[in-house]
Structure 1
Amino acid sequence: MRKIYINGQVYTGSLPLCEAFVTEAEHFIYAGSNSLAMTYAGKDTEIVDLKNRFVCAGFNDSHMHVLGFGQFLINAPLAEHTGSLSDVLDCLRNHQGRTGGWLTGRGWNQDYFNDVHRMPDRYDLDSVSTDIPIAVSRACGHCMAVNSKALELCGITADTAAPEGGAIGMRDGKPDGLLYDNAMTLIQSHIPQPTEEEIMDMLRAAFRALNSYGITSAQTDDYCTF
C-alpha cells in the first residue's frame, strides 16, 4: 500500500530538510515537497499528516548489551518500585516473569525507602514466597537479597564460608539473606540457565524497547552471557 507523509521536518541525510515523503511496499520512493509528494496519490493511497514533526532514519547503537538489556527487562522492575520496602515486595508479588524458575530483579535501594531504614532480608522476601527462590540485586549491583528457599537450594548455612572479596550477612548466628560482592556468586551459580525460548523472550523484549526509542540496529557483544 502506498502512503504519503506530508507537513513534516524530514532529514534524509543532507540539508535542507524536506517536508514530505512517499513509501510503498516498505520502501521510500520519494522525498521532497508536499506538492510533488501528492502527485503520487492514487485511489487507495493513505495520507498521513506529520503535523510538523521531525522524521529521520532509525538510530544505531554501536555498543550495548542487547541480551543483558533484555534480561533486565523481563526481571522484576524494582528500580521503578523502590520508594518503600512494601512497594518492592508488592512488585515481586505481582511480577510473573521467571528466570529458570527463579524470581529475580534488580534496582532496589533502601536509601529511598520511606517505611523502613534497612535493606530487605530473607524474612521480607519469604513474605512473597517460601516456595519460589527469589534473588534481587541492589541498584549498585554489589549486594543481593535472597529468600530462605534460595539459601536452601544453594546450601548456604551459618557454616558457609564467604569467598574472598565477599561477605554473607548474618543475624543471630544465621544467614540473613544478604550477600555482598563476590559472595553473590554463591547464588548466581545456582540459578539455572535460561531456556532457548526464554533467551528469545529476552531478545524480543529488548528489540521492542529499542524500537520504541527509535533504535533500529545495534551491535552487541554479550551473546555469550549464557
Structure 2
Amino acid sequence: MLLFTNGIIRTMDPAAPVVEAVLVGDDGRIAATGRAADLDKPGVRRVDLGGATLLPGFNDAHVHIWKLGLLLTVQVDARSAVAPDIDTIVARFRERAATLPPGTWITGRGYNETALPERRHLTRADLDAASTEHPIALTRTCGHMIVANSKALELAGITAQTPNPPGGVIVRDEAGEPTGLLQETAMGLLNRAMPEIDDATMADAIRATMRHQLALGITSATDPLLTPSILSVYRDLEARGELIVRVNGLPIRRPDGGTETLPLPERFVSDTLRIDCVKFFADGGLSGATAALSEPYKVTGDCGVLRFDTDELTQLMWEAHDAGFRIATHAIGDVALDQVIGVYEALHRRKPQPGLRHRIEHLGLPSAEHLRRCKACLL
C-alpha cells in the first residue's frame, strides 16, 4: 500500500476538499483519506509529494482512443510539430513507401492546412509525389476529411462520374476531376476500399493510447466512434483485464459512405467498459468548414454539411431511444444543433425517459435558446 503525504491533496469532495494524506491499496484504488498519522501502519510505503498537488484521475469526455493509437503506432504522423509544410509531409510518406512493397496501403493523420505556410489542403498530386505505387490516405486533424492519392482513388473507384454520397462531398477541380479531398461521408467511399485493420494491430493501438493517457493522469475516457470490429477488440481486452483506463464506448449506427445502418449493439457494462450509448454525426467540423451553419463560410461560400434529413435521423434515433440506449450526436453548427435538439425533444415527447440522458458532442455554436432547450431536455 502507498501513503501519499506532504502535498496539496485535493479530493473533489466538498465535505473535505483538501486532506493531509491519501492511502492507496495494492489494487490501485483509494482506500482512505485523512490524517497521515491515522492512515500509517506497518507495511505501508510513504510517498513524499514534496509540496506537489495530487488530484484524482481525470476523465476525458471525448477522445478517439483507437485513432490516436494508430497514429502512435503505425501511421505517418503529419502533425505540424513534425511536418510543418507540405514538402515535409510528402517526404514522410515517401520515406514510409520506401520501406513497403508496392500496393501496400499507407495511412497518415494530423495535417491542418490552416497551420501550413501553403494555407491549402494537400491534393492527389502532392501525395502522388510520395508514391504512385502505394495507395495513400491522409486524414485531416479534425477527422472529417481525407486526402487520397491517385492510386487510392483508383482502388476506391472514385472518378469524375462518382456522385457525392448523402452527407458528403468529393471535392473536384474546375474540370470536374476529384482533387483527392473527400469530406464527411465521402470518406467512407475510400475507407471501404482499404483493408480492415487486424485485431492485433487495433489492440496494440488501444493499449498505446491508454499508456499515454495514464502518463497524463487520465483514468477514464469516452471513445466516441466504434465499429463492430473495434468493439469486439475492446470486449476482448476487457475480458483479458487489459483495459487500464475505464472506457465509455460509443458504437456508430451509420458508417460513412453509404446508407447502411448497423444494428444496435449488445448492451454491456462492466467496471472497465461501458457500452450503452450509440453515436451519430449530424454535421462536420468548424476548422474544415463542414459544420452545418445558417450563414455561409467566408472561405468556401457554402454552409457546411448536414448529414441526415430530419425524418431519417428521427427514425434511427427512435430505435435507440425506444430500446433504452443513450444517444450521443456530433453537432457543431447552429443548423445541426437545431436539428438534433429538435429530435431529442420529439423522442422524449413520444416516450418520456427521464433517466435516459442523451448527449451532444462538441455543441460548438449554441445560442441561448439552444442552451435553454438542452436544459429542458435534460442534456
Question: Shorter-chain-normalised TM-score: which range?
Answer: 0.7 to 0.9
**Equivalent residue in structure 2 for 1:105, among 104, 108, 115:** 108
- Please state whether the residue corresponding to 2:89 is helix, strand or coil: helix
Cα distance, 1:216–1:111 mapped onto 2, change above 3 Å? closer
- Please state whether the residue corresponding to 2:162 is helix, strand or coil: coil
Unaligned runs of 5+ in 1: none
Single out whichever of 5-14 and 47-56 deviates more from structure 2.
5-14
The aligned counterpart of 2:18 is 17
Q: How does 1:147-186 map to 2 (within 5 A)?
A: 147-158=149-160, 160-164=161-165, 165-170=168-173, 175-186=178-189
- Aligned residues of 1:168 and 1:178 also touching (Cα < 8 A): yes
The aligned counterpart of 2:205 is 202
- Aligned residues of 2:110 and 2:140 also touching (Cα < 8 A): yes
Distance in 1, matches of 2:220 and 2:183, equals 36
Task: Please state how far the C-alpha of 1:176 moved relative to its aligned partner.
Answer: 3.9
Distance in 2, matches of 1:144 and 1:23, equals 45
- Aligned residues of 2:9 and 2:53 also touching (Cα < 8 A): yes
Distance in 2, matches of 1:16 and 1:117, equals 48
Distance in 1, matches of 2:140 and 2:61, equals 28
Identical pairs, percent: 32
- Please state whether the residue corresponding to 1:15 is helix, strand or coil: coil
Cα distance, 1:141–1:212 mapped onto 2, change above 3 Å? same
Cα distance, 1:129–1:19 mapped onto 2, change above 3 Å? farther
Task: Please state how far the C-alpha of 1:139 moved relative to its aligned partner.
Answer: 3.6
TM, length-normalised to structure 1: 0.73
Task: Please state how far the C-alpha of 1:171 moved relative to its aligned partner.
Answer: 7.2
2:77 alignment partner AA: P
Distance in 2, matches of 1:166 and 1:16, equals 51
Task: Please state how far the C-alpha of 1:198 moved relative to its aligned partner.
Answer: 1.9
Task: Please state how far the C-alpha of 1:68 moved relative to its aligned partner.
Answer: 4.5
The aligned counterpart of 1:58 is 57
2:114 alignment partner AA: D
- Please state whether the residue corresponding to 2:225 is helix, strand or coil: coil
Count of aligned pairs between the two proteins: 217
Q: How does 1:120-139 map to 2 (within 5 A)?
A: 120-139=122-141
**Equivalent residue in structure 1 for 2:146, among 144, 153, 159:** 144
- Aligned residues of 1:7 and 1:34 also touching (Cα < 8 A): no
The aligned counterpart of 1:48 is 47
Can you list the C-alpha shifts for 1:166-208, whole angstroms capped at 9, x where unaligned? 2343477854433344443321221122111122122212312
- Aligned residues of 1:66 and 1:222 also touching (Cα < 8 A): no
- Aligned residues of 2:80 and 2:115 also touching (Cα < 8 A): no
Task: Please state how far the C-alpha of 1:155 moved relative to its aligned partner.
Answer: 3.0
TM, length-normalised to structure 2: 0.47
- Please state whether the residue corresponding to 1:80 is helix, strand or coil: coil
- Please state whether the residue corresponding to 1:163 is helix, strand or coil: coil
Distance in 2, matches of 1:41 and 1:52, equals 24
Cα distance, 1:21–1:175 mapped onto 2, change above 3 Å? closer
- Aligned residues of 1:136 and 1:146 also touching (Cα < 8 A): yes
The aligned counterpart of 2:216 is 213
Unaligned runs of 5+ in 2: 230-379
The aligned counterpart of 1:224 is 227
Task: Please state how far the C-alpha of 1:50 moved relative to its aligned partner.
Answer: 0.5
Provide the aligned C-alpha RMSD in A.
3.5
1:85 lines up with 2:86 in the alignment: yes
Task: Please state how far the C-alpha of 1:153 moved relative to its aligned partner.
Answer: 1.8
Task: Please state how far the C-alpha of 1:135 moved relative to its aligned partner.
Answer: 0.8
- Aligned residues of 2:80 and 2:116 also touching (Cα < 8 A): no
Which protein has greater RCO, CA pairs closer than 8 Å, 6+ apart? 1
Cα distance, 1:191–1:62 mapped onto 2, change above 3 Å? same
